[in-house]
Amino acid sequence: MPRLYGFDDASRRRLRDDEVDATRQMVSRALSGQSNQDVAVWANGEGYRGTLGGEWKDASVGRLFRNPAIAGLRYDDDGELVDAGHPGAITREEFEALLAREQARRTKDAEPAYDYLLTGGGSTCGICNHDLGGARTNVGTPGYRCRPKDKKGIGGCGEVRIDAELLEDYVGEYVAAELLKPRIRSQIVKAQDAVRKKADSLKREIKDLEERQAELGRLYGNREISSEALVAGEREIAANLKDIRPRLRYAEQMVNFSLGHAKDLVKWWNTAPTASKRAITLLLLEKIEVFAASARGVRTVEPGRVVLHWRKLSDTSGG
């Protein structure tokens, strides 16, 4: 079985460093409105090739984008997306946006996919601290929402909603202003060095957990532990991996981010791929808290509604 682009092996236990960033950039370009053919032309122009050395085509880009494994997911027997137990190059939200984009391509009247900047832990509910997720309003406008608890008790308070463009423009203005400060670039480089060390530490943690997972299987195969012990051990390891892998993914995004020599930061922010904007946002901001508006229908960021917690770049290694 050939390996999937972005992974080191067919078992998909390890991401391939020289293909992960390419995958993320391809996805960002697709979600920003480029066609699969445009993405393929860009990838080939940058020198990227498929796992067998061939050039990218519209069809091969489409196959990659439809494979849930690139987000660390798989389809269960009911056709639902679930954690596949291996790392992913992109987030679940990005993959779901790719699916929505694919559906929009098939249905001309369908709403185009929206490339959310602050999902996947990028913004949190100021009331219950639950991560905000992307959710369209009844009229189809993209927004962020604290999803209420479902029947299994998973979710937040459901009290906070905000227009996506409103929140992202607000955050973008402050991030661009921060980047204009003297010496910020040198601080970013130092912070990225710290994040790189953190990413290496997370990789070691993942490797250790995977080795423990394999050891559990060996012990069970030799009948040295019971099936109950095996299930309990694997459940604990899976929970730890589920927590660590997104942290590693975001750390890698921060490490791979490059501002380059942009002279017009506002123009750069407005045209940069979402992955790049997300990386610099995560690098500069420790947390973005969003609170409920004073009344239903408020279309402004009222004082205190969005609270930006700036990261001390010298302390990034602990993030």
Q: For 196-216, how does the pLDDT look when each residue is reduced to its tens digit (9 = 90+)?
A: 888 888 889 999 998 988 898
27 falls within a domain: yes
Sorting pLDDT into bands at 50, 70 and 90, what band is 259? low
CA 131 from chain center: how many Å? 13
Nearest C-alpha neighbor of 28 from the set 81, 123, 94: 94
Q: pLDDT tens-digit profile of 269-297?
A: 777 778 778 888 887 888 999 999 988 77
The candidate with the shortest Cα–Cα distance to 135, out of 127, 126, 146, 125, is 146
In a domain, 75, yes or no: yes
| CATH assignment at residue 41 | 3.90.1750.20
Q: Is residue 214 part of a domain?
A: no
Owning domain of residue 59: 1-115
* Residues present in the chain in total: 319
Most confident of 99-113, 158-172, 221-235: 158-172
For residue 280, what pLDDT is reported? 82
For residues 307 and 289, give the distance between their C-alpha atoms in angstroms, rounded to a whole number: 5
Q: Give domain status of residue 16, yes or no.
A: yes
Domain annotation covers residue 25: yes
Looking up tokens 């409105």 gives: 33
Is 165's pLDDT higher than 60?
A: yes
Report the amino acid identity of residue 300.
Answer: T
What's the pTM? 0.51
- Min mean pLDDT across 6-20, 27-41, 53-67, 188-202 is at 188-202
Residue 270, amino acid = N
**Residue located via tokens 């309990």:** 232
Cα Rg of the chain (Å, integer): 21
Question: Under DSSP, is residue 33 helix (H, G, I), strand (E, B) or coil?
Answer: coil
Rounded CA-CA distance 83/92 in Å is 9
The dihedral formed by the CA atoms of 165, 170, 171 and 175, expressed in degrees to the nearest 10: 130
59: in domain: yes
State how many domains the chain has.
Answer: 1
Confidence of residue 101 (pLDDT cuts 50, 70, 90): confident
Looking at residue 77, its amino acid is: D
102 occurs within a structural domain: yes
Close Cβ partners of 73 (under 8 Å, ≥ 6 residues apart) = 81, 82, 83, 84, 88, 92, 95
In a domain, 245, yes or no: no
